[in-house]
Structure 1
Amino acid sequence: MKKIEIKTSATVYKDISALSTEDKILMNKAIEARNNAYAPYSKFSVGAALLLENNKIVLGNNQENAAYPSGMCAERVAIWKASSEYPNFKILKLAISASSSVTKVNKPVGPCGACRQSLYEYEFKQNQPFKILFMGEVGEIVKTESLKALLPFSFDSSYL
């Protein structure tokens, strides 16, 4: 038997004021997108903002449906929109923000498992990692250098 050790790292910022100007702008765009989410069932709104290499920012938010699980997460809405509208431009960064109309979300909310796999597909496709920042409604923000920090045993087309 062989045992391996997986190490990952992230930077944690105390709040949005601690971010660089570029990261603040992107996170504020994610918050803007979050505020337009359609989440009447879960009451949990998520916004995502992607910065592309052409300096375009593409927004997405979660879209729910009474026929669960027909809704879609903010991250996948944003990444598919970016791929559809700007297929030849690489993603540089992704910012995510989540809030609830039931309780204050005061800790970072990372992408769900399905979103991590979907996001990794695009990181693999562009053969270049992109930074990911995520937060709740207020408080700390986590920043990783790559999706692999969140999904170390990733699955990609090289297995097919």
Structure 2
Amino acid sequence: MASELNINICIDVLDSMDELSEQERQAMELAQQAANDAYAPYSNFLVGSALVLEDGTLFKGSNQENAAYPSGLCAERTALFAMSAYHPNKKIKLIAVTARRRSEQHFLPAMPCGACRQVMAEYEHKQQEPIPVLLQGPEGKFYRCRSVGDLLPFQFTKDHL
């Protein structure tokens, strides 16, 4: 007989930038700046990500497209890989993600793709503590996930190898 597994995920919905902590606001503003700097001549979809490290260091990343489409890289992985190259042993305290279309000034909901969720989960598993994720939501709202696990509840980790 089959049983049922229920997964409950709670995500905070914040109505405006005013409801963010100072650290969250700084990270989201840096993610917005990163989106504005994205190299996205093909999709014209500009994505920015920002990381806050345990010592307060801020790191940003933007999507980097390529004419050979699979050779591009998402904003989240750009930020995470660069951070890890420069600060391999520092813990991540927050990841912020936002996006906009090149033809528009307002920011849009930005949800990490599956590959980015897996990479984010790797760093969360590595540091053995949750990494909150702040996402641009619709109509000026923000979504605050308490952990990468909220975005990827069934993770593949080194423990599965």
Structure 2 equivalent of residue 96 of structure 1: 97
| Structure 1 alignment gaps of length 5 or more | none
- Segments of 4+ moved more than 6 angstroms: none
Deviation at 1:136, TM superposition (A): 5.5
AA of the residue aligned to 1:119: M
Query: Identical aligned pairs, as a percentage?
Result: 43
Query: For this pair of structures, how many residues does the alignment match?
Result: 160
Q: Which of the pair is proportionally richer in helix?
A: 2
Q: TM-score, normalised by structure 2?
A: 0.94
Mean CA deviation greater in 12-21 or 25-34:
12-21
Change in Cα spacing, 1:137 to 1:5, as seen in structure 2 (3 Å) is closer
Map residues 1-160 of structure 1 onto 2, 5 A cutoff. 1-102=2-103, 107-135=108-136, 139-160=140-161
Change in Cα spacing, 1:6 to 1:75, as seen in structure 2 (3 Å) is same
Instruction: Give the conservation status (yes or no) of the 8 Å contact 1:105–1:138.
Output: no
| Structure 2 alignment gaps of length 5 or more | none
Distance (whole Å) between structure 2 residues aligned to residue 13 and residue 33 of structure 1: 22
Distance (whole Å) between structure 2 residues aligned to residue 56 and residue 33 of structure 1: 15
Q: TM-score, normalised by structure 1?
A: 0.94
AA of the residue aligned to 1:85: Y
RMSD over equivalenced CA pairs, Å: 1.6
**SS in structure 1 of the partner of residue 116 of structure 2:** helix
